[in-house]
Structure 1
């Protein structure tokens, strides 16, 4: 009997991760033989945990907080969409042990917006809140969708300008503080983690109109603080990051197994109406 290919999601903390359920559903759906587990890495022991996993025959890893930057640094080669992101969420080994790093977050976000929710990004004015690794991970695929402009807003202007300059050749990008923002925007994406703790950036009035789409990259079983703010602004279409989570997992699955699973039934399983 052939041993099943072994995959895992690595992070700290990790017990909350939905990834094992998602990939188990993908495997059943596509007829692929694999196991997928959670892998807790010590905060100071990511490299050792990763190397042990692959030395023991592991086939691929998803990487979550706080290790995406370290995963990028450890990769021997980066897929184009991961090269500038400075963060990797998908790893696998190719011939002779070469460690390949990819970032599927942006592709997952864009697919969730365009395919699952019929949001038009081409020609749109898009606001992205935050300038950390999560935002860097989505910018290249987002800009490839040809929005008219993407504005990166951050508490510290210099940080937003740093991200703007890094991706300046890929599309129309601007940097701003929160206070200096002038709306309205067609799409607002929250790339900060504050809303899960009930916090929000200090956002000025006038950023939305009734047709604005608000998207929180964080997922939650209850309304996030950002989507609560969007509701108060009268925004009708408010989305959290569950769809992005499932779609980025599907992108990883394609890299590992060469098959694209259907995501709709998996999202319905994770969040039944």
Structure 2
């Protein structure tokens, strides 16, 4: 009887578009092992049942994407400090005896991509984050650990920006009232970015920008990155490196193996 491969999966809705299986296959090739990594479509309100079934059938680890990161937070038994700060889980690790640890590797993936692949220091930088959704909540705690000069959140609904700013002890500002020539790093995390929509930010806001970064990748990021470049941003980058980076941190938590992130970014850049 053939040995069963170690099983991992990503939960989401929708999830068919997820690049996680390709990324984790590359990690396994680096480790010189075979794994099974699939996509699991969970129905709204059905995450707990789907996750319970997956692990009962021998799953060894899972990633969680939208809209289930808060469901995953509620489902696990223990939380990493990163997950507690974000109140969201994107990585589930079995602890044995039917107990599970939830972690959040999104911020680590973003910080690693900015500092390593983009060679841009976060320390003492003035950072602007556009958007105030769950993705932002997942990355702010790790960005704060990098000791920036300050972080400002701007959002179309200003009340959401203020709520997050108060939670993390950072600044909030209206999208249409941002100062010119103030920010070193500008990160687009707005939901509109998925459809190529550019946030209503004046060109002058990019006047001192050394890096404009969109948390989505590929064609969806292009409109914002082109606008940032035309407005004066010295360098631009999409979120493919963040995607691969957060996956690499998950893989290490499951298997104790640290993948070569840059090699997989190069592979995925050709694939997408």
Name the TM tier (shorter chain): over 0.9
Going from structure 1 to structure 2, the CA distance change for 1:122 and 1:149 (only over 3 Å counts) comes to: same
Q: TM-score, normalised by structure 2?
A: 0.94
2:146 alignment counterpart? 145
Regions of 4+ moved over 4 Å: none
Partner deviation per Cα, 1:58-84 (whole Å, 9 max, x = no partner): 011101111111111112111101102
1:178 alignment counterpart? 175
Between 65-74 and 214-223, report the one with greater CA deviation: 214-223
Superposed counterparts of 1:156-171, under 5 Å: 156-168=157-169
2:231 alignment counterpart? 233
Q: Residue 84 of structure 1 contacts residue 166 of structure 1 at CA under 8 Å; is this kept in 2?
A: no
Q: For 1:189, which of 187, 190, 193 is the aligned residue? A: 187
CA distance in 1, matches of 2:180, 2:259: 38
Q: What is the CA distance between 1:98 and its match in structure 2? A: 1.1
Q: What is the CA distance between 1:210 and its match in structure 2? A: 6.1
CA distance in 2, matches of 1:213, 1:36: 34
Please give the secondary structure, in 2, of the residue aligned with 1:268.
helix
Bigger fraction of residues in helix: 2
CA distance in 1, matches of 2:120, 2:76: 33
2:107 alignment counterpart? 106
CA distance in 1, matches of 2:171, 2:252: 33
1:26 alignment counterpart? 27
Q: Residue 193 of structure 2 contacts residue 221 of structure 2 at CA under 8 Å; is this kept in 1?
A: no
Q: Residue 194 of structure 2 contacts residue 216 of structure 2 at CA under 8 Å; is this kept in 1?
A: yes
Q: CA RMSD in A?
A: 1.6
Q: What is the CA distance between 1:264 and its match in structure 2? A: 1.4
CA distance in 2, matches of 1:97, 1:148: 43
Please give the secondary structure, in 1, of the residue aligned with 2:18.
coil
Q: What is the CA distance between 1:53 and its match in structure 2? A: 0.4
Q: Residue 196 of structure 2 contacts residue 220 of structure 2 at CA under 8 Å; is this kept in 1?
A: no
Please give the secondary structure, in 1, of the residue aligned with 2:62.
strand
CA distance in 2, matches of 1:228, 1:196: 15
Partner deviation per Cα, 1:16-66 (whole Å, 9 max, x = no partner): 111001101101101234211111112232221111101111011101111
Q: For 2:215, which of 203, 214, 217 is the aligned residue? A: 217
Q: Residue 72 of structure 1 contacts residue 88 of structure 1 at CA under 8 Å; is this kept in 2?
A: yes
Please give the secondary structure, in 2, of the residue aligned with 1:93.
strand
1:88 alignment counterpart? 89
Q: TM-score, normalised by structure 1?
A: 0.94
